[in-house]
């Protein structure tokens, strides 16, 4: 794991990194936009309730920019206001994946140099989640955002199990396939169901006795590397991840483990 700080960050002229706050029109004006729904019927009272709630959140001069009657006694608001809080950006330290970003041909060359067989990878969108956009972006041959998916790499042997795969079914395929790595995508994550689902998979893999031989990776809109580590995974990839990021990490991490 790579624990990086912000000490080498470059800031706009005149910015104090120890007192960072949002801005809209001018630096440090604190202007923010906030949207939320209220379980009250649309009207002057609802509008005032939205304004007061924004004020309770610490926003100065809150004003209603947009409002919509959602029907059935619900209303929706977009509120502008000024944030009065600042944070010390220079003190932030975030766990990051320790890897070199490589392209398709670089990864293939790296794999051919270090492995005499294809690396086996199983991917799935697990639990009740029926959205395969995440796992398909990483694994499908066509890839995503100009980068080929893992199915396109000759040095990888992959199985994309699709959506709504139970942890029991995924574990059985991991064992049967003798997978080197597993990719778990969690896109729809109401009430933090992704956290319990991912943690359960780690427990099951450990109970099966294959954890030490398996590289476990998860990804999704609400996944970060820090969250993944807390859940017992080896790495977590969030929004903006491309297939080559995952492929490169798998290749480099497996080599790193062989050397340790």
Q: Is 60 a catalytic residue?
A: no
- pLDDT for residue 258: 86
- pLDDT for residue 4: 55
User: What are the percentages of helix, strand and coil residues in the chain, rounded to 5?
Assistant: 35, 25, 35
13: three-class secondary structure by DSSP: coil
- pLDDT for residue 238: 92
CATH number at 97-259: 3.40.50.280
> Tokens 């099966």 sit at which residue?
208
- pLDDT for residue 260: 67
- pLDDT for residue 2: 56
30: three-class secondary structure by DSSP: coil
The kind and range of the H/E element at 78 are strand 74-83
Domain 1-7+14-93, classified CATH 3.40.630.30, yes or no: no
Buried b (16+ CB within 10 A) or exposed e, 137-150: bbbbeebbeebbbb
Q: What is the pTM of this model?
A: 0.78
CB 167 within 8 A of CB 201: yes
10-residue mean pLDDT series, the chain (260 residues): 64 90 91 97 97 96 96 98 94 90 97 96 91 92 93 97 96 97 86 86 97 96 93 95 97 90
Domain ranges in the chain are 1-7+14-93, 97-259
- pLDDT for residue 128: 84
Among residues 142, 178, 191, 242, the one annotated as catalytic is: 142
């Amino acid at each position: 794991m790579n624990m990086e700080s912000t000490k080498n960050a470059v800031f706009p002229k005149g910015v104090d990194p120890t007192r960072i706050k949002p801005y809209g029109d001018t630096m440090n004006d604190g202007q923010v936009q906030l949207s939320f729904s209220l379980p009250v019927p649309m009207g002057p009272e609802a509008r005032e309730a939205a304004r007061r709630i924004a004020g309770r959140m610490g926003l100065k001069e809150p004003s209603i920019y947009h409002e919509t009657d959602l029907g059935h006694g619900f209303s929706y608001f977009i509120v502008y206001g000024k944030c009065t809080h600042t944070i010390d950006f220079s003190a932030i330290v975030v766990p990051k994946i320790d890897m070199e970003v490589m392209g398709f041909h670089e990864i293939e060359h790296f794999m051919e140099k270090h492995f005499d067989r294809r690396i086996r990878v199983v991917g799935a969108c697990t639990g009740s989640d029926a959205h395969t956009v995440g796992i398909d972006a990483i694994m499908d041959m066509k890839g995503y955002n100009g980068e080929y998916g893992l199915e396109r790499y000759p040095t990888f042997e992959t199985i994309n199990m699709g959506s709504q795969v139970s942890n029991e079914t995924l574990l059985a395929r991991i064992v049967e396939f003798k997978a080197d790595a597993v990719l778990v995508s969690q896109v729809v994550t109401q009430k933090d169901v992704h956290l319990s689902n991912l943690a359960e998979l780690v427990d099951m893999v450990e109970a099966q006795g294959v954890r030490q031989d398996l590289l476990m990776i998860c990804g999704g809109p609400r996944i970060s590397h820090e969250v993944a580590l807390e859940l017992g995974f080896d790495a977590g990839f969030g929004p903006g991840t491309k297939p080559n990021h995952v492929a490169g990490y798998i290749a480099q991490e497996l080599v790193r483990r062989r050397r340790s």
